[in-house]
Amino acid sequence: MLANKIALVTGSSKGIGAGIALELAKSGADVCVNYCDSPTSALEVVNQIHSVGRRAIAIQADVSQRDQVERMVDTCEQELGHIDILVTNAIASVRNTLLETKFEDLQRTLEIGVYGVFHICQIVARRMVERKALGSIIHISSPHAHFPYKGAIDYNTTKAACHHLVLSMANELMWHKIRVNILEPGWD
């Protein structure tokens, strides 16, 4: 189904991102596994992808840092090929109430969960448009984008802001034949 497609999944060394990376591989894609600070976990995901017969590499990059995102995209394309599928999954959060949240924690969550999504989507979308390629961007969101749960000021704010960022991208990129979707996993 996804044979000869190249996917990049941010925040894919563990959790939902790791699961998405492995499922993309099982569907035939080769995968760039992004991590920020979990190289051992990222290599485990790469090995799992190899075990299903697909190519994979692990690339360290903090998505909040544009230069690191550019390097990651360059490395992915040099090693595996042009990116057809982008999944934005990376997030950080220190969940707290308004009265207890430190500004630095809110700022870091926004840097990864909004600015990081902007960086990776803009860089990859520009390359897709230049190639006149059909592409797919999938953003992993959360019910927190719509429901401001208590004790999650940084996460609620970030998911809500990013929801509109991604919807705005969808309105613009559809004219370039780049599909943009939001996936909101819930709780079991």
CA angle 2, 183, 154 (to 5 degrees): 135
Reading the block at residue 178, the tokens are 């780049």
Cα 86 to Cα 180: distance, rounded to the nearest angstrom: 9
Burial 71-83 (b: 16+ CB within 10 A, else e): ebbeebbeebebb
Cα 75 to Cα 111: distance, rounded to the nearest angstrom: 22
Reply yes or no on whether 35 is catalytic.
no
Burial of 108 (0-12, 13-18, 19+ CB in 10 A): middle
Which entry of 35, 115, 149, 155 is annotated as an active-site residue? 155
Query: What residues are labeled active site?
Result: 155
